[in-house]
Each structure stands twice: as C-alpha cells, then as structure tokens.
A and B are shown apart, each in its own frame.
Chain A
Amino acid sequence: MTVIAMNPSSTDSHSATHEASNPPLAVSLVVPVVERSQDIEAVYHAYTSILDKLSLTFECIFVIDGGDRRVMNVLEALPSTKCPLKIIPLPYYFGESMALAVGFEQAAGDVIITVPPYFQTVPEGIEQVLKRLDEGNDLVVTKRWPRVDAWFNRLQTRMFHNLVNRLTGQSLSDLGSGLRAMKRPVAKEISLYGDLHRFLPLLAYQKGFRIAEVEIPQHTADSQHRVYRPGVYLRRILDLLTVVFLFKFTKKPLRFFGLIGSGLFAVGFCVSALLALERMLGVTSLSDRPLLILGVLLMVLGVQVGSIGLLGEIIIFTHARKLKEYTIRKFYR
C-alpha cells in the first residue's frame, strides 16, 4: 500500500516514478471519495472481488477530497494483499473533478474505471462496462436503469438531460452516474477542473473518442430522495452553458458575439429610423423623444459586442498555427 501525500504541484513527479516502477496493469480502479463514504469498505470488497474473479491485474486508487481522517483510517486498515493500493488525500476540498484528475494522473492501468465511493449501481455492472469497452469503444458511461429511486429524481434527471442533448446534439441519459470505464488515452488527454467531470462524455466526444452507454441496474442504496437547494440547480445550468460554449463557439467567437451584436444593432437601428422618420414628417421633434437614447444605445452596444467577437477572431487567427483542433488516432509515418 502506498499513501501518497498530495500536493497539487508535485503530481507529475509522483506519477512518473510510479509508472516506471510498476509492472503493466490491466485496470486502474479510481475512487474519488467526495461524499457518502460510509460504505467505502464494502465498496472496495465488492469491486475487487469481481475484478479478482475476472482474473485481471488491477490497482485501486482512492483520492480523498479534503483528506478526511476518518476515511483515511478506514482505507489504511484495508488488506493490501489483493492489489496495489494508492491512497491519496487532497489537502483541501477541491471537488470531484480534481479528485478524478489526480486519480487519472496516478493511474497506471491500460483501462481506467471510475467508481463512486458508495453503491450507486450494482457492482456486477463493472463486467458489462468492461465488455462494452472491449467492443472497440474508448469510453463507456452508464445509465442507472432500472431505477429504484423517487419519481422526482427521475423527472429532474430527465429534464436536465433533455436540455443537455438539445444543446449539444448528443443522446446521453445519465451524466451523474459515477461508474465509467475508459481507455488510458481518454483519461490522460482530457483535463478536468471545476465541475467538468459531469460532462466527461461530451469532452471525450469533442476529442474524437468513441463513446457508448450501457444500462446498469441502480443499487437500492442509491434510492434517497434528492431535492437540492436552488443554488445547486442554478450552478448546474451555468456549468452546462459553459460546456456548450466550449463545445460550439470557442473557435468561432464572431458567430456567437456577432449574432447577439447584430441583433442589438438591428433593434436599435429600427427604433432610431422610426424616430427619424417621424421627425422628417414633422410629427414630433427628436429632443422630445427619450426613446432615441434607447435606440442609439442599442446600436452602440451592438457595435461593441460585435467588435469584441471580431477581436476574438483576431486572437484565434493570429494563434491558429498553435491550435490543433483535430485529434489523430494513428500516424503511419
């Protein structure tokens, strides 16, 4: 067992030494311990016994957000005879994305499986996920189905995913399901931060990886009623907007800003033109119409927004040769 003192700046050197010293591994099990960690021992035994049964070589990586001492004690007491164990406490609460990113950096396996620290789906699901990965997919995500939890949970999940799919053109149905399997390049090429782990399949799609979704029955322990504070919903929506912007417009800022800018300008222009017409027909004098201020303001705003989009284009244009928008599967030199 290895306990690695985590310091975000020193991750590179650690991963380098570990990859060099360990024999080749088939699977790295990455467990981001962020919430609901009371069952963690049972989770460990359930998953490792299945991987044992499949006779795979594997390692377990626990990344403990905030380095909770109680969880650390439980994990350090685990028998390390089954597989190499890496326990990584994070010195501060960084969230699930950071925990996963750190886990990915330490992972030495050809296949990386992420598992939540509690029973979200039935443990046997890991076999199905691995099977789908072998069928030529680069990333396999799971959908908790059939579900055992409250109808309200299902409704909000459904609504959120409808929105996601409409905005991105994908067909995903359970971004919150923590069981995923991916080939090494997926974990190493995608950089996770903030709350981006939720959108891992979208980021992987953008990098050109093949993605599949499998249905895994939800575990009965995952049936709690989930109603969040309004702030959580708002944050989720903002995250989604960020991802959509990254997804669609980063390389085309003028499309985004130009659309908004020209809309504003058009409205402003119509208002001003109408007032000018009235003035010319002698209906009223311009100085009596405060609406003119609004009209001109909208035109000015339109120009400002549009010109910022253009500046964005100039940034990309002058740096385009450093950009690599495509991803190469293989280069036969």
Chain B
Amino acid sequence: MRKRIELSVVVPIYNEEESTPVLCEAILHVCQSLAVPYEIIFIDDGSKDGTPQVLEKLHQEYSNIRVIQFRKNYGQTLAMAAGFRAARGKYVVSMDGDLQNDPADIPKILHTLEQGYGVVCGWRKDRKDKLVSRKIPSKIANWLIGKITRVPIHDNGCSLKGYRRSVVKQLPLYADFHRFIPAMSTLGGAKIAEIVVNHRERSFGSSKYGISRAWRVFLDLFVVSLIVRSSARPALWFGKFGLVALLAGIGCFMIFLAYNISGIVLPSVAFMFFALTGHLVALGVLGEMILATGDYRPGQMVRDGILAINRDKGASLHE
C-alpha cells in the first residue's frame, strides 16, 4: 500500500536551469531529515531555456519528484494553482524557484502548521534585494494590502508559505492573485500565522519582477478586496449601496416637496435613484444565487476543522 504523503513542496520554476538542481538537492536534504513521506512538485512555467530537460532528469533520478510542464508561460499564480491541484500531502509548502527562499525554513513552517494554523506566511524580514526598486515599493504595497484586506501580513509577496491541505484545495487561484492568498484564505476562515524566514541573495539568473507591475498589483488589490467583501454576503453588500441610493432618492424627493420647487428635474433624479436601488437589490439577490450554486462557501474551512479566531479583528499573528 502506498504511504500517505505528509508534505508536498510546490515550486514554480521559470527559466532557472542553473539554480534548479541546487535547489532540488537542498529541498531533498531538508525533507529527508524530516523523516515523513513527502513529494516535491516542480511546475515548469513554459521555460525557454534548458529547465524542462533538467527537471525531466531530476524526475527520472528521484521517485518522489513530480514535474508539471506547462505549454506556455502562464505566470506564478497559475503555476502554483496547478501544483496545489496536484499536491497529495496533508501539508503543502510553496516556495520560489530562484534559491532566494531557504529550504531550511521548511521544518519551521511545518511545525507551525501542526500547531493548528491554516496558513503560515513567510516574512523576509531581512530582505536581500535592491532598496529603491524592490524593498520600498513592497513595503508600501504590503501596508496597503493589509489596510484594504484587513489582514495585516508583513510580506504578502513571499512565496515561502505553508498551508493545510483543506485550505489549498479551497483557494480560488486565478489571474494574478497569489499575493492575496492570506486575504482570501481568511474569508474561508483559516487561521493565519507569520514567521520570519531567511532570504538570500540571488546567485543565478535574473529577477523576473519589476516596478512596472505596481499598477497591476494595485488594480488586483482593489478587485480582490471587492470580491472578498462582496462575496461573503452579496445581498447585504449590494443592498447596502441600494439603501444609499434609496436615501438619496428620498432626499431629492423631500427637497422637491419641502421647497415646492417647480420643474421636473428633481423628481426625475429621485426616480433614477429609485431605479438604481432596484438594480442593486436585484444584483444582490443574483449574487446570493450564484454563491449558492458555486463551490465556494465562506467559512467552509471552519467546517473543515480549522477554527478561526478573531476573524473580525483580522488574522491572529505571531512571530
């Protein structure tokens, strides 16, 4: 009989033919020292260099290395999504393929997960990157993400994260949303922890990020926070704005009546606001119907046995 896998390590890789073997050795070394059944899943995100061949060789060499080869470059979020879908372990750890994350942190993450947390986020407290182009924008972005999603994590962009299986299988990962995994998983009711992890200088290849994505991250942040807020209870969320529109309509009408103003402008405006109210209420109801037929339920993970504490105050953090 097959042993039940305890740990899945998911590593998206894009054009890293030099660092991949080194990284693989390091992860294998750490996993072997843990003495639990494990698997390593590499996702080749449509690399254009020799990465696919390197990964194929590693797969032939070690029995617990699995490799998913994408047809083209789809980005880190989808690579992670594919890895998560394939993962069989009770706990799943994701990390970058560029050696900047340290596999030696895996045991620490695993230990924290075993204490009952749904998500464990790495925090690159001492980050080895360029100050102006990487560290400062990231600090601002994280502050903003924390404020808007109400999940104050120091380092959303750190790929080194650990998850409980039920969380990973619940996460809706698409578009560019891997940065918002903590925010999205709290919606499901997962308990979040944050630990300081090691961060190393890049030794091979070049970084695939640039300041140019700032705008896209900002847009995504806006979208994610809207989704997270509205999809918990669509009828209430849309209804709230419907109420505002209703009050605005009533206000216009009252002014019209109270001051005995002639002309049809104010009543027309009032009716428009009423129409908007109807529209929003209808959308809210439609939203509830969509939620009822979809496979995402807010609080699903709570039912799966991971208790959320202090959801209203955001995630519970510790270092």
**Residues of A bordering B, CB below 8 Å:** 207-209, 251-252, 254-255, 258, 285-290, 292-293, 296-297, 300, 303-304, 307-308, 310-311, 313-323, 325-333
Contacts and interface: CB of A to CB of B under 8 A. Distances in A.
A240 B139 CA distance: 42
Contacts of B68: 328, 330-332
B265 A208 contact: no
Contacts of B230: 310, 314
A215 B234 CA distance: 54
Given A314-B291, A315-B290, A319-B294, A326 B78 contact: yes
10 contacts: A208-B71, A289-B265, A292-B265, A300-B275, A307-B279, A318-B294, A321-B296, A323-B174, A329-B69, A331-B69
Interface string B272-293: 1101100110010011001101
A303 B276 contact: yes
Interface in B152-211: 169-170, 172-175
B286 to A, nearest CB: 6
B38 interface: no
Interface of B: 46, 55-56, 59, 66-72, 74, 78-79, 81-82, 86, 169-170, 172-175, 219, 223, 226-227, 230-231, 234, 238, 241, 245, 261-263, 265-266, 268-269, 272-273, 275-276, 279-280, 283, 286-287, 290-291, 293-296
A254 B46 CA distance: 28
A311 B81 CA distance: 23
A280 B79 CA distance: 56
A321 B82 contact: no
Contact of B69 (A300, A314, A328): A328
A325 B174 CA distance: 7
B287 A332 contact: no
Contacts of B56: 332
A251 B231 contact: no
Given A287-B261, A287-B265, A332 B59 contact: yes
A292 B268 CA distance: 9
A174 B175 CA distance: 31
A288 B266 CA distance: 10
Contacts of B59: 332
A321 B172 contact: yes
Contact of A311 (B66, B275, B286): B286
Contact of A332 (B67, B74, B175, B275): B67
Contacts of B241: 303, 307
A287 B266 contact: yes
